Amino acid sequence: MFVYRGSTALITGASKGLGKVFAETLAARGMNLVLVARSGNALRGLAEELTDKYGVQCLPLSADLANPDAAIRIGEELERSGIQVDLLVNNAGLGLTGSFLSQDFTKVQSEIQVNVNALVALTHLLGRGMTKRGRGGIINLASNASFQPLPYMATYAATKAFVLFFSEALQYELAGTGVHVTAACPGPTATSFFDGVSTDVSPKDMDSSESVVHKTLKAFDRRKAVAYPGRTSVRAATWLSRFFPRTLMVRLAAMATGKMGLQG
């Protein structure tokens, strides 16, 4: 089992939502933390809070992962600080809604940069060190959207499908190295993900961030390649693409996003 106490985790998107809960949960397990997000003030406040409460070391790093150079700069800061990362939690993500052609293409590019390019860059940068040391872990946040095309969240679902497939392939490659990779595929979660989006998703239909993080870490500890940290109905929905034609899956997915009010 992964040894948390005394190890160091780097968490992206750490200032709120799932990232903040990952930070709190891992600090409670005795992990030192590198907290990465755009909001420097929120990160510094969280770092101080976790240090005071759990006695762990917390380094807040303000970085915008939409910047193609972000991963390089993070690596340089880690080297300057003499920090070795034992657990990488690629949590940061962007999710645009509405019809693809109605979206600002600059925002679409940022979505792909954060969800795919930054995740791959950090995984490559930190994963190489882990394999050399013969121990470590990587948790990549995918989604239940990974399993089928999703009209009105077309780019988001495509990026999360990439994260899922990339993570499963990487876990196969790293078998026996002491480094384990888990892709987490939660469903709708009570975070700030839908802030500013007109949606009919009810809070009662969402899982709590605490539940998602707890179940993800439980799957990671059990060395699962894929974690399904949502309610049973969310897990069941991921099975549909195994049995139904893709043309039908697209129609069903469009019905679901339409019901959620995500057409824009």
Separation between Cα atoms, residue 114 and residue 221, nearest integer Å: 26
Catalytic status, residue 172: no
Per-residue pLDDT of the chain (264 residues; tens, 9 = 90+): 899 999 999 999 999 999 999 999 999 999 999 999 998 899 999 999 999 999 999 999 999 999 999 999 999 999 999 999 999 999 999 999 999 999 999 999 999 999 999 999 999 999 999 999 999 999 999 999 999 999 999 999 999 999 999 999 999 999 999 999 999 999 988 876 655 555 556 667 789 999 999 999 999 999 999 999 988 888 888 888 888 888 888 888 888 888 877 876
Reference 137, options 257, 13, 20, 11; nearest CA is 11
Q: What local confidence, expressed as pLDDT, does residue 246 receive?
A: 85
Separation between Cα atoms, residue 133 and residue 136, nearest integer Å: 8
- Record the tokens describing residue 172, joined without a space: 């196969």
Separation between Cα atoms, residue 139 and residue 92, nearest integer Å: 11
Q: What local confidence, expressed as pLDDT, does residue 195 receive?
A: 55
**H or E, element range at 228:** none
Contact call for residues 174 and 136 (beta carbons, < 8 A): no
Chosen CATH of 8-259 out of 3.20.20.30, 3.40.50.80, 3.30.350.10, 3.40.50.720: 3.40.50.720
Active-site residue (options: 4, 156, 172, 228): 156
Q: What local confidence, expressed as pLDDT, does residue 241 receive?
A: 81
Extents of the domains making up the chain:
8-259
